[in-house]
Each structure stands twice: as C-alpha cells, then as structure tokens.
Amino acid sequence: MRTAVFGGSFDPPHNGHLALCLYARELAGVERLIVSVSKNPFKALADASDDDRAAMATLLVAEINAAGAFAEMSGWELRQPGPSYTIDLLRHVAALHPGDDLVLLVGEDSYRQMPQWRESREIAQLCDIAVFGRSGSVLAVGSCGETLPPATLIDFDMPVSATEVRRLAAAGQPISHLVPPPIAAYIASHGLYRV
C-alpha cells in the first residue's frame, strides 16, 4: 500500500492542508494518509495547545475523509518524551506498516529546509518525497542545488498559511474563507488565537 505521511503543527489546519491532502490522493497515488501533529517548541502564548491542535487535526481528517476515507490523525509525535523528528516518525510508520511504500508530503518551504533536518539523507532513503508548491516561496525548488534530497514536484498554488489565519482570528476578522467550516467553528467556540 502507498502510505503518505503529512506532518505539521496544524495551528490551525487550513484549506491549503485540505487541498494538499486531496491532491496527494489523486496525483501521488496515496492510499493511506497519516496526518501527524508535531510538537511546537516555539509555541507563543496565543498559539493553540497540543490538545486543541490534535482536535482540529481530527476535524481536518474528517473533512478529508468526507470524499472517501483514507486518512487518519496521529498524535504519536506529541506523546514522545523528547523533541520530535520526521525521521523518527517515518521509522515509526514503517514499523507500523511493514512493506508499505512511504511518501512524505511537504510544502515547498519545508522542503527547502530539509538539508537542516536530522538524518535528511536517511529520510530520502526511507521514503519518496512529494513537494507541493507554495506561493510566496523565495526560491524556486531546485535552486538550492544538490543538497536537497530527490523529490517529485507537484504544481500547487493555495495561498493560505496558518500564520495568516491566526493573525485574522486575533484581529476578530473572518477566517471562514481560509479554513474548513468545522475548524472555523472550533476556533470560535474555544476562543483560540485571541491575545
């Protein structure tokens, strides 16, 4: 089975994440998708808690699965005692699903940081990497030279970020055009991102 891993802080999940996951099923042939909520060591006071991010990622997964179930939320990284690294998550998924073809889904901004990731060469040996274009990225993918691991580049342009959603929510402005309705409702009912 082709299993994809999509990690993020999901603070909050937004329409870019949703579209990326649905694209992955169509374009990267993903049959199982693991949406993993990462730790947020740089958490600011107004950022959502681990529990809220996990709850919103569960709502994201429900939205993804509305088009046919293939995704699951994982809180494995949040339960690890130390810092969480993508290589450890991938080894965990490989042990859970032996024999599966693994593919890591990343946005272009994350991909360009991969040379700084722990064991990035081992990541590329363990899985395929599918990179989704991200508008606003300063460099085109590939322009960093050979330090970037081999990857499949997917043409993708969804100009939305969690930073922008948090900024609007903090200002009391509408976010319903940027996040799925259940996540907008969760943010409102839990008063998230209000400073």
Judged by the rule CB under 6 A, the positions of this chain that interact with ligand ATP are 8-11, 16-17, 20, 106-107, 109-110, 132, 134, 156, 158, 160-163
Q: Which is nearer to ligand ATP, 99 or 129 (CB)?
A: 129
Give residue number: closest CB to ligand ATP.
107
> Are β-strands 2-8 and 101-107 bridged in parallel, bridged antiparallel, or unpaired?
parallel
**What's the min distance (Å) between Cβ of 162 and ligand ATP?**
3
Q: Which is nearer to ligand ATP, 12 or 32 (CB)?
A: 12
**What's the min distance (Å) between Cβ of 185 and ligand ATP?**
19
Kindly tell me the sign of the dihedral angle through the C-alpha atoms of 77, 80, 81, 82.
Answer: negative
Go through 103-130 and write b for each residue having 16 or more CB atoms within 10 A of its CB, e for each that does not. bbbbbbbbbbebeebeebeebbebbbbb
Q: Which is nearer to ligand ATP, 38 or 70 (CB)?
A: 38
Q: Which is nearer to ligand ATP, 99 or 177 (CB)?
A: 177
Residue 174 preceded by cis peptide, ω within 30? no
